[in-house]
Amino acid sequence: MTRRLPMVLAYLLSASVLARPAATLEDLRGLAVQKSWAELLERAEALPPTTRSDTWRALVTEAATAEVESATVLDDKDPFAMARKARALGQRYAFLATAPGFLSARDARGLKDLERCLALERSGCIDTYRELAGDASAETMLQAARLVKRGHFAYVAMPLFASAVRGGKEAGACKDEALAEAVLAARDLPAPDARAGDRSSPSATTPPSRRGPARRSASPPRAWACPSTARSTATRVSR
């Protein structure tokens, strides 16, 4: 009898789930009025795929955005708990990738979590942030880089500046003064340090006479893809 108990419990649980009526759009609207966002997201997937209309997507988007924006419980064990939740929601509902409101809330939450992680002086804050916010906007990455630079050596923020630049296509990031300072600091890093830049191809922007001692990186950081940054930094080096 004891051996059968787990099987009996599993049967009862599955039966209760099956007995629960499928949610309707009216149910989801009611949950939205009540601001029961977590329950709305849980029950949204109970609607048959054929009835998941634009209205359904709008309700899910509203709930997901509110869940990320309204989170107030802080988790000292995992400063990035809410950023992880936002990422999970984006993976669960692919259409959120085109929802400006959700993306804005997700990016803002990631910055808050990064700031909290740095304040707690945890290790791996930057790597974790980059993992969770890899598709954040260039402006968000630039804000994250500035945030890191305020409390660390300039070169520590180099990976975030490189993400903000994205091949030199983001003119706003390229003109940022903090980026030039980070690039200049990164030039003094030893070549094996990943923050010194992408060394997959020889430098085409820095004359050999200005590359510094052999201990420096053989090629400049990816942020040198910005012509304005390259000129500004080269001028500083020549002084």
- pLDDT, position 166: 73
- pLDDT, position 214: 39
pLDDT at 221 over 60: no
pLDDT at 204 over 50: no
- pLDDT, position 193: 60
Query: Considering only CA atoms, which of 230, 146, 221, 223 is closest in space to residue 191?
Result: 221
pLDDT in tens, 15-25: 444 445 678 99
pLDDT band at 93 (very low <50, low <70, confident <90, very high): very high
- pLDDT, position 143: 92
d(CA 104, CA 112): 12
Q: Please report where in the chains the tokens 């930057």 appear, as a residue.
A: 126
Backbone torsions φ then ψ of 77, nearest 5 degrees: -70, -35
pLDDT band at 87 (very low <50, low <70, confident <90, very high): very high
- pLDDT, position 77: 85
Least trusted range by pLDDT, from 40-54, 111-125, 188-202: 188-202
pLDDT band at 180 (very low <50, low <70, confident <90, very high): confident
Polymer length in residues for the chain = 239
For residue 166, what are the CA distances in angstroms to 142, 221, 234?
Answer: 11, 12, 20
Whole-model pTM: value is 0.70
Give me the mean pLDDT over the 63-88 stretch: 88
Angle at CA of residue 130, ends 120 and 163, nearest 5°: 125
Give me the mean pLDDT over the 79-98 stretch: 94
Instruction: Report DSSP letters for 48-111, one per residue.
Output: -GGG--HHHHHHHHHHHHHHHHS-----SS-TTHHHHHHHHHHHHSGGGGG-HHHHHHHHHHHH
pLDDT at 218 over 50: no
- pLDDT, position 206: 36
- pLDDT, position 197: 53
- pLDDT, position 184: 74
- pLDDT, position 20: 56
d(CA 201, CA 216): 16
pLDDT at 112 over 50: yes
Give me the mean pLDDT over the 64-79 stretch: 85
- pLDDT, position 210: 34
